[in-house]
Amino acid sequence: MQISTSVPYDEERLRRTLRFLANRHMKTSRVLGAVLLVLGIVVIAVDPTSIPGYGFIAGGLALMFAVVPIMVASGVRLQSEVIKQGYHLSLTDEWAQITYPLAETRYRWQGLNQVIETPDAWYAMFGRAQALTIPKQALTPAQRAEFTAFTANLPK
């Protein structure tokens, strides 16, 4: 496989990637949020003047619905200016390489945990929170087919 393409900076793609990573790790927080919400409802049903009950409900709702958007917004805001210039993506049988004007990152496919396909991109997961985003719109149909065939032959 020899795929090479330029990928312009896209804040929405960055947001989708951060949302994808955050959602993978927020299942426990959402369950805890649901537990707090139910606890708050029970406490308020017993005593409608109970301030902690309302605090449980607010905390539960925040854990269920507010944490991921806050994490994504913070992640976008904290990104280095280096990535806002776009990058060059090179994929070979041995390496995945991202080259920014001022930085470069290489991943050996041997260290890959899994490739997750979404409608917009592939996420090559190197660990639980390290994802290389391979945007589908940056690849030609032939390159997409070649990458799909490559990922189908990777060890599971």
Predicted confidence (pLDDT) at residue 155 exceeds the cutoff of 90: no
Q: What integer pLDDT is reported at residue 25 of this predicted model?
A: 79
> Structurally, how many domains does the chain consist of?
2
Co-location of 104 and 146 in the same domain = yes
Helices and strands: H and E segment counts in the chain: 5, 7
Q: What integer pLDDT is reported at residue 105 of this predicted model?
A: 92
127 or 55, greater pLDDT:
55
End position of a domain, from candidates 50, 77, 104: 77
What strand order describes the sheet that includes 131-135?
114-117, 121-125, 131-135
Tokens 């393409």 belong to which residue? 5
Q: Give which of 77, 79, 96 is closest to 88, Cα–Cα.
A: 96
Q: Give which of 31, 4, 51 is closest to 147, Cα–Cα.
A: 4
Q: What integer pLDDT is reported at residue 156 of this predicted model?
A: 66
Mean pLDDT of the region 7-24: 91
Co-location of 91 and 51 in the same domain = no
Domain that holds residue 23: 19-77
Is 0.95 topped by the overall pTM? no
In a domain, 35, yes or no: yes
Q: What integer pLDDT is reported at residue 153 of this predicted model?
A: 84
Co-location of 109 and 91 in the same domain = yes
Co-location of 45 and 100 in the same domain = no
Contact between residue 139 and residue 4 where contact means Cβ atoms under 8 Å apart: no
Token duo for residue 45:
């049903």
77 or 128, greater pLDDT:
77
In a domain, 141, yes or no: yes
pLDDT digits (tens, 9 = 90+) for 89-119: 999 999 999 999 999 999 999 999 999 999 9
The pLDDT confidence band at residue 128, using thresholds 50, 70 and 90, is confident
Contact between residue 122 and residue 151 where contact means Cβ atoms under 8 Å apart: yes
Contact between residue 68 and residue 15 where contact means Cβ atoms under 8 Å apart: no
**Across all residues in the chain, what is the average pLDDT?**
92
Contact between residue 37 and residue 56 where contact means Cβ atoms under 8 Å apart: yes
